[in-house]
Amino acid sequence: MKYRGFAARLSLVLLAGALLLTVLPSASLAQAPSFSVLALGKPGATTTLATGFDPYGLYVSGIGSDDNGTTTYAVRWDLLPWLQGGSAAVSAFPGPDSGAYTVNALGQLGGFIGSEAAIWNFQTVDLVTVDRFHVDNFDLSVQRLANNGRALLHASQTGFLPLSGVGDAQPGSLTNFTWFNGDSATAPVVWDISSSFGAGSSYSRTTADRFPLLARSVNGAWVSQQIVPAAGFPQGTNGGLFAVTEGGDGAGYLRKPGGLVETAVFGVDGSSVALGIPDGYDTAYLIGRSVDSVVAIAGKTGTEVADPFFRAISPGSPWMPLSALLPADSGWTDLDFWGMNDLGMVGGGTLQGKSSAFALVPSWVASHTGTVTADAAAVVGGNPIQITFKFTQDPAHPAKIAHFAMASPLVSATGNAKDALPVLSFDPLPTGASLANDGKDLFVPIPDGATEISIPLRTLRADALDRNYSARLIATAVDQVVGAQATALGVTELTVRRQ
C-alpha cells in the first residue's frame, strides 16, 4: 500500500543530524478493566489499515487495497451498528490510489486521491461529495479533520519535511487557508490539530534542533504557547508534539542536548511532564493521547524496532505493550497503532495471517449496557423532542453523571463558516445540567440509584436548514468528572428537518 504522512512523521523523529527543509468527562481508558478487539475488514480487500478514530467513537477512517495489492482506496467504518449489537458498516471510495487518514465526528473523511488532498463529505442525508485540492509538484493530503471542519493539510516532496497548512473545510470549498511558513530561523511543521489548537515542531533551518510547538487559533490568527521544559530538562531541550486534544493538551517527546528521545505530555498552559521510556528500550515518543492515557512508540537505537506501548498519564503508571490489552486468545500479532480517542484505539495488525484493521475498545463499550431512544423519528423545526438514556448501574462504580456528546453538522444562517453552529441544541437545560465544548457536550447529574435520564433536544437556527441533516448523539454514564470509570454507553442517530 501507499501510505503518506503519519508514517513519515514517525521516521523523521528518530533521524540524527540536520533535516532538509523547504519553505512554502470523558470516559477513562486507563480505568478500563478489560478490552475488546473488533476486526475491521472489507470484502474483497487484501489488506486494511485503520488510521483515525473520531472523538465520539462512531467512525473509523482507513486505507484498503485490492486483491492484488496494487491499488489503494479510502475506507470508512461506521461503528454505530456494532455499538447497537450488529456489525460495523463499511464504505469504500475508489481513488484510484486513494486513502483516508482522518475522520471527524460528522463522519467526514480526509486523505488523498493520487497527488491531491481529498475530503469526503457525509453531512447530508444520502449524499456523499468529494472535494479535491491540488498544489503543483507536491503530494498533497489531508492529515486531520477537526470536528468544526478545520482541516490540516500536508504538502510533501521526497527528502523534505512537509509543508503544513490549515483551513476551514466546507462542502465545495476550503476557506481561510494559511500555510505555516515560519521565519528565517525556523520552519514549523504542524502534525496534529483540534478545533482550536495545532501541535508540532519548529525545525531549525541551520542545525538539527527542533522545538515543541503548541499554538491556539485566536480570531483567525495562530498564537504560539511558550513551552516550559519538564523538570530535569534544561533550556535548549529539543522536542515535538504529535497529538493534541480538543482542550489543547498535547503529547510527544523531549530530548536533552546530546540525549535520547523521551516521551512527554504537554499542558495547554505550556507546561510539560516527562513520562520516561519503557524498560528495554532507549528511545520513545508519544503519538496518541486521550483524557488520561497515552500511546507511545518505543525503539532501540540502530535498529528498526518500533513497538507500541500504552500507559496512564498519572505519575508512576507502568508501561504496557499494546498487545497486553488484547484478550489472551485474540489471535492478533504485529500491532501498529494509528489513532485513539477516549473510547479506544485503532490501527492495523495481523489476524490469521492477513493484514487487517482493528478497533480496540473497553469491554463496557462493547457490552451494550445502555440505550438511547427518541420519542420522534426526526427533529423538525423548533419543536423539541425527548431523548431517553437507559443504562445499567455497576454497584462497584455507581454512575453519578450522564454525558451526552453531540455529533451534529454545523449550519450558518449567513453562509459564513465562522458563524456556523450545530444543527441541534440541548434546550432547555435540565435542572443541574451544564454545557461544554460550545454546546456540543451536556453533563446531567444522575440521582442515586437511577437507571434512566431524559433530556430535551431541538433544532438551532431552523431557518438555516436547507436540506435534511443526519446527527448523532452518544451518551455515557460515568462515576466522576475526572478519571471517570464509565459503566454504560448508548448511541442514536436522528434526522433533522426544517419542517
The CATH number linked to 451 is 2.60.40.4060
Listed in sequence order, the residues at least 6 apart from 458 whose beta carbon sits closer than 8 Å to its beta carbon are: 379, 382, 383, 384, 385, 424, 425, 427
- The span from the CA of 68 to the CA of 410, in Å, is 40
Question: 330 vs 366, which has greater pLDDT?
Answer: 330
For residues 95 and 135, membership in a common domain is answered with yes
For residues 295 and 428, membership in a common domain is answered with no
Least confident span in 19-33, 398-412, 472-486: 19-33
Report residue 94's pLDDT band, with 50, 70 and 90 as the boundaries.
confident
Could you tell me whether strands 354-362 and 344-351 are parallel, antiparallel, or unpaired per DSSP bridges? antiparallel
For residue 252, list its beta bridge partners.
241, 264
Give the residue-averaged pLDDT of 220-247: 93
- The span from the CA of 374 to the CA of 359, in Å, is 28
Q: Which of 305, 341, 335, 306 has its CA nearest to residue 322?
A: 335
For residues 130 and 166, membership in a common domain is answered with yes
Total structural domains in the chain? 2
**pLDDT, position 462:** 64
- Is 39 inside any structural domain? yes
Q: What is the mean pLDDT of the chain?
A: 84
**pLDDT, position 492:** 86
**pLDDT, position 487:** 77
- Is 145 inside any structural domain? yes
- The span from the CA of 319 to the CA of 116, in Å, is 39
One-character DSSP codes across 326-347: S-TT--EEEEEEEEEETTEEEE
For residues 336 and 445, membership in a common domain is answered with no
For residues 341 and 401, membership in a common domain is answered with no
For residues 219 and 334, membership in a common domain is answered with yes
The residue among 342, 365, 388 that closes a domain is 365
For residues 322 and 409, membership in a common domain is answered with no
**pLDDT, position 287:** 94
Using the predicted structure, report yes or no on whether residue 474 has a pLDDT greater than 80: yes
- Is 120 inside any structural domain? yes
Could you tell me whether strands 486-497 and 378-380 are parallel, antiparallel, or unpaired per DSSP bridges? parallel
**pLDDT, position 8:** 37
Give the residue-averaged pLDDT of 366-380: 82
- The span from the CA of 255 to the CA of 262, in Å, is 6
Using the predicted structure, report yes or no on whether residue 5 has a pLDDT greater than 60: no
- Are 153 and 165 in contact by the 8 Å Cβ rule? The answer is yes
Using the predicted structure, report yes or no on whether residue 179 has a pLDDT greater than 70: yes
Helix (H) or strand (E) holding 414: none
For residues 308 and 449, membership in a common domain is answered with no
**pLDDT, position 461:** 64
**pLDDT, position 291:** 80
- The span from the CA of 310 to the CA of 55, in Å, is 18
Give Rg (Cα) of the chain.
22
Would you call the peptide bond into 428 cis, given omega within 30 degrees of 0 as the criterion? yes
For residues 355 and 309, membership in a common domain is answered with yes
Please give the backbone phi and psi of residue 333, each rounded to the nearest 5 degrees, phi first.
Answer: -140, 170
**pLDDT, position 227:** 95
Give the residue carrying C-alpha cell 486507563. Answer: 30
Q: Residue 196 is which amino acid?
A: S
CATH number at residue 79: 2.130.10.150
Least confident span in 201-215, 221-235, 409-423: 409-423
Using the predicted structure, report yes or no on whether residue 195 has a pLDDT greater than 70: yes
Using the predicted structure, report yes or no on whether residue 323 has a pLDDT greater than 60: yes
One-character DSSP codes across 73-100: EEEEEE-HHHHTTS--EEEEEE-SSEEE
Tell me the Ramachandran region of residue 143: left when phi exceeds 0, alpha when psi lies from -120 to 50, beta otherwise. Answer: alpha
Could you tell me whether strands 186-193 and 197-204 are parallel, antiparallel, or unpaired per DSSP bridges? antiparallel
**pLDDT, position 20:** 31
The residue among 330, 346, 365 that closes a domain is 365
- The span from the CA of 197 to the CA of 111, in Å, is 20
Q: What is the DSSP letter of 9?
A: H
- The span from the CA of 165 to the CA of 20, in Å, is 19
Report residue 395's pLDDT band, with 50, 70 and 90 as the boundaries.
confident
Give the residue-averaged pLDDT of 214-237: 92
Least confident span in 37-46, 90-99, 193-202, 230-239: 37-46
For residue 154, list its beta bridge partners.
141, 164
**pLDDT, position 261:** 95
* Per-residue CA distances from 488 to 82, 306, 456, 461, 469 (Å): 15, 35, 20, 32, 27
- Is 1 inside any structural domain? no
Least confident span in 68-77, 239-248, 335-344, 441-450: 68-77
Question: 194 vs 45, which has greater pLDDT?
Answer: 194
For residues 138 and 159, membership in a common domain is answered with yes
* Per-residue CA distances from 218 to 137, 151, 222 (Å): 32, 16, 6
The residue among 308, 336, 365 that closes a domain is 365
**pLDDT, position 367:** 74
Least confident span in 43-47, 192-196, 426-430: 43-47
Question: What SS3 class is residue 361?
Answer: strand
- Is 35 inside any structural domain? yes
Least confident span in 227-241, 252-266, 455-469: 455-469
Is the C-alpha dihedral spanning 420, 425, 428, 430 positive or negative? Answer: negative
**pLDDT, position 440:** 80
For residue 46, list its beta bridge partners.
none
- The span from the CA of 282 to the CA of 284, in Å, is 7
- The predicted model scores a pTM of 0.87
- Is 294 inside any structural domain? yes
- Is 68 inside any structural domain? yes
- Is 205 inside any structural domain? yes
Is the C-alpha dihedral spanning 326, 330, 336, 339 positive or negative? Answer: negative
For residues 318 and 373, membership in a common domain is answered with no
For residues 299 and 437, membership in a common domain is answered with no
Would you call the peptide bond into 96 cis, given omega within 30 degrees of 0 as the criterion? yes
- The span from the CA of 314 to the CA of 292, in Å, is 7
- The span from the CA of 320 to the CA of 99, in Å, is 30
Give the range of the structural domain holding residue 461, as residue numbers without chain letter: 369-497
- The span from the CA of 24 to the CA of 160, in Å, is 12
Using the predicted structure, report yes or no on whether residue 43 has a pLDDT greater than 80: no
